[in-house]
Amino acid sequence: MTRSYFGTDGIRGRTNQAPMTADVAMKVGQAAGAHFLRGDHRHRVVIGKDTRLSGYMMESALVAGFTSVGMDVIMVGPMPTPGVAMLTTSMRADLGVMISASHNPFYDNGIKLFGPDGYKLSDEDEIAIEGLLLEPPHLVPSDQIGRARRVEDVKGRYIHDAKMTFPADMRLDGMKIVIDCANGAAYQVAPSALWELGADVVALGVEPDGTNINDNCGSTYPQTLCERVVEEGAALGLALDGDADRLIVVDERGTIVDGDQLMALIASDWNQRGKLKGGAVVATVMSNLGLERFLEDAGLSLLRARVGDRHVLEMMRARGCNVGGEQSGHLILTDYATTGDGLIAGLQILAALVASGKPASEVLHLFEPYPQLLKNVRYNGGDPLAEESVKAAIADGEARLSATGRVLIRKSGTEPLIRVMAEGEDEGLIEAVVDDICSAVEDAA
């Protein structure tokens, strides 16, 4: 079945434009609710959101949809995506919903769905829900309409669960930490968790007004954090995105540390402590070759999944791994969470930092990244990658890089773009290989 609504991470789009309208949200609530009405118990759904202005509209529409098919609704207000996943399981809910467009601007929004196990829905569940969207809603009799209630104490529950992942014999006393919450879902819980662990917290991006989420702040714009860390003389800076499932770190010198370096640190730390499972880290095809070489030197493997934290998690579960993520900062630690969690990942970085007794700049840069270049080529119809001239250019590039690097060519999942990436030891050669392949794609397009 061709998908009309679900993408790589739920449903997402510009609000008040299809598919991100109140009408569609209500229908999604009706379809997802009907799909998860299983058994004769009283069914419930947990709904959380970030701080976007449109969150009120989408929340109300979803509540109408779920209650109309007989589901009770628990509204938890602004809450990180991993917090909604956690609450779905702890509240014994049949379904969890996060209203967020993650790192996108405020005018976008999205709907992410979690099953009763706290994991994002399978392809089969999403396809089944899309099928129900095409049918009349399964409305229940008047006396079976669901009830809705707002629960106010969930922030404390999430803070407690996050703190429990930090070693019990450690504290953050005397450590100044700057955290940028992107004016998003974690603007209350993340600074509070760090403060409760003893840190001297400088909080940025904690004044959401409905339209400033991810606006020149957070993990997609860490420049302000870099400046503030140096200005404050802080030990570390943490940057989250709008729904707090992504983390970027800044060391005490103001240098940005991406997800590849963070995975290297957590994997090596956990491996030394006997906590790492599967003898490997799961990343994506975009992760730097330097990470792969670093892990190999430590006797570990790097397994590469397709781009998207959902695909990373699927491979982690299939291979029995407990550390995975993306270069962009989605870090998945399945010992503690069923999805990416920026706060929990940050606490693991802080634990390794405290244990080392060294400055962040010495701990967080474990390998030298290989030069990496990515260019996009737009095309209009057809399949440029099927052209023999393009295949020949790709094969030639792979041969030129040989054992010193790699070439990655893929289509964008959201735009008519061919993404051409190469990395290796020789920066000049990489640039030449990428330019040659891009030229071939442009000619074919």
Point out the residues that are catalytic.
102
Could you give the CA distance from residue 256 to residue 250 in angstroms, rounded to a whole number?
A: 5
For residues 267 and 276, is the Cβ–Cβ distance under 8 A?
yes
Write the CA distances from 227 to 150, 178, 224, 235, 237, integer angstroms: 39, 10, 5, 13, 10
What is the Cα–Cα distance from 192 to 213, expressed in whole angstroms?
A: 19
Sequence-distant (≥ 6) Cβ neighbours of residue 185 within 8 angstroms: 48, 49, 50, 51, 78, 79, 80, 81, 83, 100, 242, 243, 244
